[in-house]
Structure formats: C-alpha cells, structure tokens
A and B are shown apart, each in its own frame.
Chain A
Amino acid sequence: MTRYIIRRVLWFIPVLLAIMAVTFFLAYITPGGPFDFAGEKQLPESVRQNLMAKYGLDDPPHIQFIRWVWNALHGDLGPSYYYKGRSVNEVLSQTFPISAQLGALALLLGLLIGVPMGIIAALKQNTFWDYSSTFIAILGVSIPNLVLGPLLIWIFALKLGWLPTARWAVNYKELILGFFPPPDKLWPFFKHAILPAVTLGTGLSASIARLTRASLLQVIREDYIRTARAKGLPERTIIIVHALKNSMIPVVTVLGPMFAGVVTGSLIVEQIFAIPGMGKFFVASVTNRDYPVILGTTLLYSVLLVVANLFVDIVYAWLDPRIRYD
C-alpha cells in the first residue's frame, strides 16, 4: 500500500504539469489579452506594451510558462494583473479558506441528508418513502442554486427575520490556523453559514441520495447478503455491517471530485450570499485574462482533485477488502 501511495504521489508531478501546460496554452491562444482594454476603452498600443513588459508578457510563451513553473515551485504564483498590488498567493490564501468552510459544511450536510435518504429509499423500495425521497432528490437536483438561494433569503431573512440576508461572519484575518472560525464568533458563523450551506448542500444531498439508493439496491441482491440472511442474522446487522459498507463505493467515488469542486467555491452561491470565497475567480480571471489567477486557481483545484482521488482509492481498499493495490 505504501509503495502504491508513493507511486501515485510521484505521478502527480507529470499530471499537474500537463494540466498546467494545457491551461497555460489555452489561456495564451484565447483572443484578447489582459491589457488590451480598460473597460470598453482600447488602450493605446504604447501603454499596452508597457504593461506587457512590466509583467514579462513580451517573452515567448514557453519561456513564460517555464518561468511560471519555476516560480510556482518556489511558492510564488505571481501577481494578479487585475487586482493591482495583490499576489495570487494572497488572493488564494484569503479566499480559499472561506470557500472551504462553506464547502465542508455543504458536503457534510449533503452526506447527513443524502445517505440516510438513499438508504430509506432503498430499504423501502417502491413504497411511499421511496417515492417521496426520490421525488425530493429529483427536486433537489433540478432547483438551481440561483433560484433556491434568493428564495431562502426571502423566506428566512426578509420575511421571518431568523437569519442574516447575506455575507460571511468571519474574514480571513480572524481565522484560526487559517481555517477555523474563532470561538467567540461560532454562533454568528453558523447563522451566516446555514442558508448558503443548505443551498449548496441540497444539490449535493440529492445526488448522494440517488447514488446511495441505486448502489444499496444492487448490493442487497448480492449472494453474500442472501447468505447472511440464510444464516439468520438480524436485518439491521445485514444492512449496516454487510450491505452499507460495500454500497458506499460509488458514493465515495463521486465524493472525490465533489469535494474538490465544492471546497474551491461555487460562483453562484458565493455571489448570491456575498461570500468572499474564491468561486468568482475561476470565472473572473478568465474574463479579465488575468493569467496568473487562472493558473493559480486551476493549480489549486487540480491538486485538490488528485489528492482527493488518491484518498478515494485508499478508502476503496478499506470498504471492499477484495480491492488490493500492488
């Protein structure tokens, strides 16, 4: 197992390099550059030249890429072209923890709701419980966050006045260990987090529920479950000890990418609730042709993705002892 992990980690290097190279050259060949315009105003060629020179964009692309990789290896992701005086390191370290807080809460919520819902649906297949949870799951997947978010704000903040309308209770300057909200702010933190986490978690719980249901239905038809039943084991033991663990494999498989996607921020949820997370940078950096931010966000996302997938593979071995690496 250790050898497997080491091998996988070593594989990260070419994988990440390839991702970054593709991203870099895609950005490079996209028409329009970061300094062509100020708003709708075309910048004079001379000004553009000065800006290009200042950021080293007048060098050939492969030199630029090698320089970026070299600096990234030294922990420097470069300056933002759009946010003058801010570095990509700063942007990411200020916004990623906030997105990760929201993402972690939403994912937790998604699991807490989705898994039980899927189990009930599977165990009570073709009953009222199954139909209603399937219905809810479809609803959860179909309602876009763009609708659910404002609706929740309207109900719980404006009409009932129970929860704040928007914004995040803590900022990057107050975080403990760069991630946790300070204890004295826990209560406002949860009050602010609940609506966005529900908005983001709803969709997640719906997909988790559907997967859990489908997978559990398949597993309980397996021979070894019949054997367990024949042995006269109590139904509860059969489900929890034998069926559930195995049926989690597809769920864990999607959890990897889901985790990477969700902790790096959701543009829409963050925008609706005015949360200072990194979701917007994925889109804004491309709109602004802010190359270092494009590369920085992509790098962070890719690292999370490959690491999460590695974890998923390790968890497989634990969930199903038949799976062995080496």
Chain B
Amino acid sequence: MKQKRWFMLVAILVIASFVLAACPQPTPQVVEKTVVVTKEVKEVVTKEVQKIITKEKVVTKEVVVTPTPVPGEEKVTLDINLGTEPPTADPALATDTTSVTVIEQLFLGLTDLAEEDMHAIPELATEWETPDDGQTWIFHMRNDVPWVWYNPATGEVEVVKDDDGNPRVVNAHDVVYGVKRTLDPRTASDYAYVLYVIKGGEALNTADPAADDLDALLADVGVEAVDDFTVKFTLEYPAAYFPQIASMWVTRPQPEWVIADKGDRWIEPGFIVTNGPYVMTEWVHEDHMVFEKNPHWPDWDKVEGNVERIYAVMVTEASTSFAMYENNELDTAGVPLDQMDRVKSDPELSKQLTIQPIGCTYYYGFTTPKAPVDNPLVRRALSAAIDRKTLVEEVTKGGQIPANTFAPKMIFGSPAGDPEIAPWALPEDMGGWGYDKAAEEARKWMADAGFPDGEGLDILLMHNVSEGHAKIAQAIQAMWQSVFPKANFTIETQEWKVYLKTIGKKTPLEDMPHVWRLGWCQDYPDENNWVHEVFNPEQGANRPRLSFDDPYVGDKIKEFSETTITAARTADPEKRKELYKKAEKLLVDDIAAIAPIYYYTQVVVTKPWLKRHWHDTPHYETWVIDWAAKKAATGK
C-alpha cells in the first residue's frame, strides 16, 4: 500500500498548488509595499540632479582611457521595452515605429526634429538653404562624424577606415547613395513614395526593376553631391516642408561598401556600420537588443545624457511590461488601459505617470458619394453628435484630446483646437460649443437634410476587429442613437487586411460602409503629410472619395484641393499656416469628409531615477539616469 500513499501525497501537493494558484484576487492593500520603496528613491533624486553632470564626465573619460571590454553591469544601463521585434534596422526599408526607434539610435539624419515643436534642426547638416523658394535645397554637412563598426571579438567600437587607411567620415556621397538606394525599385522599399517629391524619384521607383534604362533613371534622380560635404536636392515642385523630409529615415546616409558586400544581412551586429550615438552590439531576435555608446560620436559633450548601454527587451504584452516596470526591470513602460485607474489613484505611480500627445489622430471617415451620407449636413450632424469629451474620459481613458481637425497640434500648420473650425467638436473648456449645443444643432442639421430625429436614416459603421475600436464604436453608436432616436445604426467588423481592402478605392460603392474607422500617424510633421497626402482628391489617397462633381459641395472640394496644392508649394511659413487652416476647415467643417475623434497620446510611467525627453522618436542620448539611485533600487 506504500504506492497508494505516495499517490496521496502527490495529490495533496497538487491540490495545494492549485489552491495557491487560485489565491484571492489582488487587493489594493498589498500595493502599499511598492510605495514605500519608491518613496525613498524619490528623495534621493532631488538631491542628485547636480551631481549627475560631473559623474557623466568621469565615465566618458573612462571609456577613452580603458577601451577594454567592460562587463555590462558597470555601464550606466537604460532598460526599455521595444514592445516587439523590429522588422528591420535598415533605414531604406523601415515602415514602423519600432524599427524607426532603432534606426534613430544608429543613423543620423541630415536634419533632426526639435523636441518641443518638431521643426527641423541641424544634425548632419549644419545649415541649409533654398535659392529658389523651395524647389532646390542645398544642405551643408559637418565633416567630423565617422562611420563606426562594433567589433564583436574585442568588444570595441572602431572607426571604419577606407582602403588608404583614413577614417571614413559620413559625407554627401553617402546621402546620395542612401536616397537612391531607397528609391531603387530593386530595393523594394515600402516607404519610397515619401521621396517622390524629389525630381525623378517616382520615375525611378516605378520603373521595371529589370529595365535597361535603370542606370539612366538612377542618374536622373534630383540628388547630387556638390562636393564631399554639400548635398543638393532638386524637387519636382517647391516643397517648404523638405527639411522635415530630410530628417526621415529614408533619406539617411547609408554605407554603400557594406551593403554591396553583405546584402540584406548588413544590418546584423558584426556587419552593421553606423554613425549615430549608439552602436548595436547584440540582436537576439524576438528577445532583446543591446546598444552601446559610440565613443566616436562627436556630440557627447553637447548632450546631457549619460546612458552608456541600452538593454531593450521585446515584450508584447502590455500587462507583462508593466509588471516588469513595477519589479524595477524596466525604467519606463507604457500603462495598460486596465491599470489606468490604479495608476492614477496610487500616490507614487501617479507621480511617475506622463500623458504625452503623439502625432496621430483617430477618425471616422465618410464615404461621401454614398447616400445618405452624400449630404454634408448628415455628415456634419453625425460628427457633431459624437461626444468626444465623454468618449476620451469614459471610454479610451488614456488622456486623449478631443479633435476638431485632422492633424494634431504638434504638426506644422495644424490649427488644432482653433474654435473657428468645427466648434461643435470641442468641449466648452476648449472654447467650443460643448456637447449639449452641438447635439442640438446636429438634430437641426439632420432635420434640414430630411431626416428629422434620424427617421429613415440607415447607417453602416465598420471598423477592424479590436476590442478598443469596438468599445469606441459602441459608445458612438449609443451617442448617435440618443441624438437621432429613429435612425438605425449597424456596426460591422472585419479582420485588418480584409478591412483595409474593403474600404479601399476599388470596392464598389454599394459594398462600402457609410462610415469607417481609421487612424493616421505622421511620417513627417507637416500638414502636407496630413490633409494633402491623405485627402487631396487629385494627389492624395482620398479614401472618402471626394469628387469635384459632388452635387452638394463640389466647389468646396475643388477649393480644398487647390488650397492644399498651393500650400505645398508656398515657401512663406505664415502663409502656409493660413492655407492649412482653410484646408482643415473645409475638410472637417464645410465638407465634413471625416469626423476627427481624438488625438492620440502615449501613457507612460517613468522611474524617478530616469530623466527622459519627449522627442517624437526617442533620443536616448539625451536621457539621464541617476545610476546610484537605480542601483540602490534594483539591488544590482
């Protein structure tokens, strides 16, 4: 019977483990523990701010004096979560924010975007000029940024030498190569179209990769090295926003000799040659990346940052990432929606919380030729009947900002928040009408359009499958229903790629939903990337199918089109702002082609020992860690 007893023992153990696992739900009582720990840290930080700068210098010297491989623990390390495996680190191929974040650390652009308002500031280019009001752009580059290579055998960052043994310095030819490589159809870059503004860019990119005249087309692209450190761009048409395009990853200098040698694999550690403040020393796919300080980057004494090593994990699940943050394994992390209430009410976590606007907008688009939303009054009534304030406060909860324009405030030329545009979309505290009045007017507009109380109105709203989108759609459906009680609103969902196809331009009108959800994030921070590239009926993507033949607002649509085209070609910044304000008003208010809903925000918590910046793409070289405080808190 011994055997039986043994079984019993196992069974008891099993039961015990299950009881443990099924422990009572988390109670807020226990949370206080964390609070005490962070409090101590917080006090240290206020005193440490002065010390950080001196400490930073000491560390820099250390790197210069002893270039032997130092074990990672001794370096000031920043722990972050990339959120996912970056699909690439190749500047010509990146399309997503994770890849762009990685590229930002590794490759410098001709220009950079300022933290506060995203205007173009010098990076590789020290200054630039346009002799002919935006058609030609000449960038003068600095000559002291070397290409570097991380040597995995020695653990050192080495300056790359050319065949004669001289250091390779980033120059105009590297920029020309980078731009041409992005546009080359053989590279098959998803983002090449951003460079169609460059003369000959579209002709090259759309050519048959096997064509004989490819070399001629390559030579015809409007980018040339005037001398080793001056690069000249000739554009198809004047574009005042070109310095911002020059900050994008697709225009960054690329090392031709490495790419020619290693092909697609040139971005792997051990091969990759870069010029940014950090080098990539490790890339374990799906798991983590390690970046180390590039001691040859010439601007270390111009930034306050002291991060010497970045350990970037790829944790997809937001709740896990947040748990790691609470466990001091991450220095900063996003806050999952279901933790928002707890973070806000927790005395310590609420201090670590930042809600930061980002360059993205959530909107509903209308299929403008499709009845009954072919009538702009119906569209405007539907847009005005969305209670944006309640939506962001009760449904999305991430501090999002009610939107009355397509482009958010940080985008150049955006009149976001200006109550002259769609005041019905803004709450009273933002200078708008407030929802009560907006709903009142919406009822009138709907009645004027022939649908009193929404009678006879049958609207199909479609969004892609996602819990978040579903919540928003249901809330908006309920708002519409209460304003237009006799109307019928139906919600349908589709899988993402099927959805994108459905709301594409090739779908016959009868199969299109009346209203569809989308978002837009900036490629570069200028209204041209928004109202023009997304909605211009002649040159933009134009999903709402705006047409000059529109029986109601054809003339306004024509005016909108002319306005964005003129604005793209206007050099004077003030004049451009005026034009974009007009375009936004036409788009959102008069034509009501879309219902902007909110501007996105990122909701993050940051440990008290980290002083971070808020560039649109993180610039880790500017972040400061109080290393002593971090070591004390993490016990390392």
Residues of A within 8 A of B (CB): 30-33, 35-44, 46-47, 49-51, 53-54, 82-86, 90-91, 94-95, 113, 116-117, 119-120, 123, 129, 132-133, 136, 139-140, 143, 148, 150-155, 157-159, 165-168, 171-173, 198, 202, 205, 236, 240, 271-274, 276-277, 280, 287, 289
Contact = CB atoms under 8 A, between A and B. Distances in A.
Pick the 3 closest A-B CB pairs, nearest first. Answer: A32-B497, A276-B286, A46-B206
A129 B190 contact: no
B621 interface: no
B286 A95 contact: yes
Interface stretch (B122-130, B296-304, B309-317): B309-317
Interface string B481-509: 00000000000000111101110100000
A42 B500 contact: yes
Contacts of B21: 148, 151-152, 155, 198, 202
A154 B285 CA distance: 27
B185 A50 contact: yes
Given A32-B496, A54-B186, A133-B14, 5 more contacts: A37-B500, A51-B188, A165-B324, A165-B327, A287-B495
A36 B501 contact: yes
Contacts, number: 184
A84 B259 CA distance: 14
Nearest to B30: A159
A276 B284 contact: yes
Contact of A40 (B14, B286, B495, B520): B520
B538 interface: no
Given A85-B265, A166-B320, A289-B497, A38 B11 contact: no
24 contacts: A31-B501, A32-B498, A35-B190, A36-B500, A36-B501, A37-B500, A39-B96, A40-B521, A46-B206, A47-B206, A50-B205, A54-B209, A84-B87, A85-B264, A86-B285, A95-B285, A129-B8, A136-B14, A136-B18, A153-B320, A165-B320, A167-B313, A273-B320, A287-B497
Contacts of B504: 42
A180 to B, nearest CB: 18
Contact of B1 (A31, A202, A236): A236
A43 B193 contact: yes
Contacts of B14: 113, 116-117, 133, 136, 205
B23 interface: yes
B90 A158 contact: no
A139 B18 contact: yes
B320 A85 contact: no
Contacts of B190: 35, 38, 43, 47, 51
Main secondary structure of the interface of B (DSSP, over half): mixed
A33 B95 CA distance: 16
Given A32-B501, A83-B85, A47 B193 contact: yes
B90 A139 contact: no
Given A46-B206, A47-B189, A287-B497, A153 B96 contact: no
Interface string B185-225: 11011111100000000100110010000000000000000
B15 interface: yes
Interface string B158-188: 0000000000000000000000000001101
Given A53-B209, A165-B324, A274-B316, A39 B18 contact: no
B498 A31 contact: yes
Contacts of A272: 317, 319-320
Contact of B329 (A38, A165, A240): A165
A214 B265 CA distance: 55
B313 A140 contact: no
B192 A47 contact: yes
B66 interface: no
B10 interface: yes
A274 B90 contact: no
Question: Which has the most chain A C-beta neighbours within 10 Å: B20, B209, B316, B326?
Answer: B316
Contacts of B192: 47
Contacts of B323: 150, 153-154, 157-158, 165-166
A120 B5 CA distance: 10
B242 to A, nearest CB: 20
Contacts of B326: 158
Contacts of B189: 47
Contact of B90 (A44, A84, A119): A84
Given A39-B521, A167-B313, A287-B497, A94 B191 contact: no
B316 A271 contact: yes
Which of B10, B23, B190: most chain A CB closer than 10 A? B190
B22 interface: yes
A38 B205 contact: no
B396 interface: no
B500 A139 contact: no
A82 B185 CA distance: 18
Nearest to A51: B188
B399 interface: no
A224 to B, nearest CB: 21
Contacts of A271: 316-317, 320
B605 interface: no
Contacts of A54: 186, 188, 209
A276 B18 contact: no
A148 B22 CA distance: 8
B500 to A, nearest CB: 5
B419 interface: no
A273 B323 CA distance: 11
A171 B285 CA distance: 9
Given A36-B497, A54-B188, A274 B193 contact: no
Contact of A50 (B188, B267, B495, B502): B188
Contacts of A47: 188-190, 192-193, 205-206
A85 B316 CA distance: 22
B27 to A, nearest CB: 11
Given A31-B501, A95-B286, A274-B315, A236 B95 contact: no
A274 B321 CA distance: 9
Contacts of A32: 496-498, 500-501
A47 B14 CA distance: 58
A270 to B, nearest CB: 9
A198 to B, nearest CB: 8
A287 B496 CA distance: 7
Nearest to A52: B188
B88 A84 contact: yes
B15 A132 contact: yes
B90 A37 contact: no
